Amino acid sequence: MNIDELERSGIIKRLPIDRKKVNDSLDLARRDLNIAGNMLDENCDWAFSIAYNSILQSVRALMFSKGYRPSSDSGHVSAVRFARLFLKEEDVIAFDRMRRKRHTAVYDTVGSISRGEAENALSRAEKFILEVEMLIKSE
Protein backbone atom coordinates (compact mmCIF):
# COMPACT_ATOMS: atom_id res chain seq x y z
CA MET A 1 0.00 0.00 0.00
CA ASN A 2 1.34 3.45 -0.86
CA ILE A 3 0.66 6.81 0.77
CA ASP A 4 -2.17 7.69 -1.64
CA GLU A 5 -3.92 4.39 -0.92
CA LEU A 6 -3.60 4.96 2.83
CA GLU A 7 -5.21 8.36 2.39
CA ARG A 8 -7.97 7.11 0.08
CA SER A 9 -8.83 4.29 2.48
CA GLY A 10 -9.17 6.78 5.35
CA ILE A 11 -6.30 5.31 7.37
CA ILE A 12 -4.46 8.65 7.29
CA LYS A 13 -5.63 12.22 6.81
CA ARG A 14 -3.77 15.05 5.10
CA LEU A 15 -2.91 18.14 7.12
CA PRO A 16 -0.60 21.12 6.70
CA ILE A 17 2.99 20.43 7.73
CA ASP A 18 3.56 21.97 11.15
CA ARG A 19 7.13 21.83 12.46
CA LYS A 20 5.89 22.46 16.00
CA LYS A 21 3.77 19.27 15.87
CA VAL A 22 6.78 17.37 14.54
CA ASN A 23 9.05 18.66 17.30
CA ASP A 24 6.40 18.17 20.00
CA SER A 25 5.95 14.53 18.97
CA LEU A 26 9.71 13.95 19.01
CA ASP A 27 9.88 15.55 22.46
CA LEU A 28 7.08 13.23 23.64
CA ALA A 29 8.95 10.25 22.19
CA ARG A 30 12.14 11.20 24.06
CA ARG A 31 10.20 11.87 27.26
CA ASP A 32 8.49 8.49 27.06
CA LEU A 33 11.78 6.71 26.40
CA ASN A 34 13.26 8.32 29.50
CA ILE A 35 10.23 7.45 31.64
CA ALA A 36 10.21 3.87 30.34
CA GLY A 37 13.83 3.49 31.44
CA ASN A 38 12.98 4.84 34.89
CA MET A 39 10.02 2.44 35.15
CA LEU A 40 12.01 -0.68 34.21
CA ASP A 41 12.85 -1.74 37.78
CA GLU A 42 9.35 -0.99 39.01
CA ASN A 43 7.02 -2.53 36.42
CA CYS A 44 8.00 -4.24 33.16
CA ASP A 45 4.46 -4.08 31.74
CA TRP A 46 4.43 -0.30 32.01
CA ALA A 47 8.06 0.13 30.94
CA PHE A 48 7.23 -1.81 27.77
CA SER A 49 3.99 0.11 27.19
CA ILE A 50 5.69 3.48 27.61
CA ALA A 51 8.55 2.42 25.31
CA TYR A 52 5.93 1.41 22.74
CA ASN A 53 4.34 4.83 23.11
CA SER A 54 7.74 6.37 22.46
CA ILE A 55 7.86 4.55 19.13
CA LEU A 56 4.29 5.57 18.34
CA GLN A 57 5.13 9.23 19.02
CA SER A 58 8.22 9.06 16.81
CA VAL A 59 6.14 7.63 13.95
CA ARG A 60 3.55 10.35 14.50
CA ALA A 61 6.37 12.90 14.16
CA LEU A 62 7.29 11.31 10.84
CA MET A 63 3.66 11.45 9.72
CA PHE A 64 3.38 15.12 10.67
CA SER A 65 6.63 15.89 8.83
CA LYS A 66 5.10 14.43 5.66
CA GLY A 67 1.81 16.30 6.06
CA TYR A 68 -0.35 13.51 7.47
CA ARG A 69 -1.94 12.39 10.70
CA PRO A 70 -3.51 9.08 11.75
CA SER A 71 -7.25 8.76 11.33
CA SER A 72 -9.13 9.04 14.60
CA ASP A 73 -10.53 5.52 14.46
CA SER A 74 -7.35 3.60 13.61
CA GLY A 75 -4.51 5.61 15.15
CA HIS A 76 -2.13 2.84 16.16
CA VAL A 77 -2.74 0.69 13.09
CA SER A 78 -2.40 3.68 10.77
CA ALA A 79 0.97 4.50 12.37
CA VAL A 80 2.17 0.95 11.66
CA ARG A 81 1.00 1.10 8.05
CA PHE A 82 2.54 4.53 7.53
CA ALA A 83 5.83 3.41 9.10
CA ARG A 84 5.97 0.55 6.59
CA LEU A 85 6.40 3.13 3.80
CA PHE A 86 9.53 4.70 5.28
CA LEU A 87 11.21 2.32 7.76
CA LYS A 88 12.82 -1.11 7.50
CA GLU A 89 10.31 -3.94 7.33
CA GLU A 90 11.90 -5.77 10.28
CA ASP A 91 11.48 -2.66 12.45
CA VAL A 92 7.86 -2.24 11.40
CA ILE A 93 7.13 -5.90 12.16
CA ALA A 94 8.62 -5.41 15.64
CA PHE A 95 6.55 -2.23 16.12
CA ASP A 96 3.35 -4.07 15.18
CA ARG A 97 4.17 -6.98 17.50
CA MET A 98 4.81 -4.50 20.29
CA ARG A 99 1.44 -2.87 19.56
CA ARG A 100 -0.36 -6.17 20.08
CA LYS A 101 1.73 -7.14 23.12
CA ARG A 102 1.10 -3.74 24.69
CA HIS A 103 -2.63 -4.22 24.21
CA THR A 104 -2.45 -7.47 26.19
CA ALA A 105 -0.37 -5.88 28.95
CA VAL A 106 -2.64 -2.85 29.29
CA TYR A 107 -6.05 -4.44 28.85
CA ASP A 108 -5.85 -8.19 29.49
CA THR A 109 -3.07 -9.72 31.60
CA VAL A 110 -0.94 -8.35 34.43
CA GLY A 111 2.70 -9.44 34.30
CA SER A 112 2.68 -10.46 30.64
CA ILE A 113 5.94 -8.61 29.84
CA SER A 114 9.30 -10.02 30.93
CA ARG A 115 12.23 -7.84 31.86
CA GLY A 116 14.01 -8.91 28.68
CA GLU A 117 11.04 -7.84 26.56
CA ALA A 118 10.91 -4.50 28.34
CA GLU A 119 14.65 -3.94 27.86
CA ASN A 120 14.32 -4.86 24.18
CA ALA A 121 11.43 -2.40 23.84
CA LEU A 122 13.60 0.38 25.26
CA SER A 123 16.38 -0.45 22.83
CA ARG A 124 13.96 -0.50 19.89
CA ALA A 125 12.39 2.79 20.94
CA GLU A 126 15.77 4.48 21.07
CA LYS A 127 16.57 3.15 17.59
CA PHE A 128 13.21 4.29 16.20
CA ILE A 129 13.66 7.82 17.50
CA LEU A 130 17.12 8.11 15.96
CA GLU A 131 15.96 6.69 12.64
CA VAL A 132 12.93 8.97 12.45
CA GLU A 133 15.05 12.01 13.36
CA MET A 134 17.42 11.15 10.49
CA LEU A 135 14.52 10.77 8.05
CA ILE A 136 13.04 14.10 9.10
CA LYS A 137 16.40 15.92 8.88
CA SER A 138 16.95 14.57 5.36
CA GLU A 139 13.74 16.21 4.05
**What is the per-residue pLDDT for 42?**
96
Domain of residue 128 covers 3-137
Output the CA angle 108-109-115, nearest 5 degrees: 135
Number of Cα atoms under 13 Å in the Cβ half of residue 28 = 18
49-98 pLDDT, tens digit each: 999 999 999 999 999 999 999 987 777 889 999 999 999 999 999 999 99
The CATH number assigned to the domain holding 58 equals 1.20.120.330
Number of domains forming the structure of the chain: 1
Geometric angle at alpha carbon 81, from 100 and 11, rounded to 5°: 105
Global pTM value: 0.94
Task: Supply angle C-alpha 1, 78, 128, rounded to 5.
Answer: 95
Instruction: Name the band, by pLDDT with cuts 50, 70 and 90, for residue 130.
Output: very high
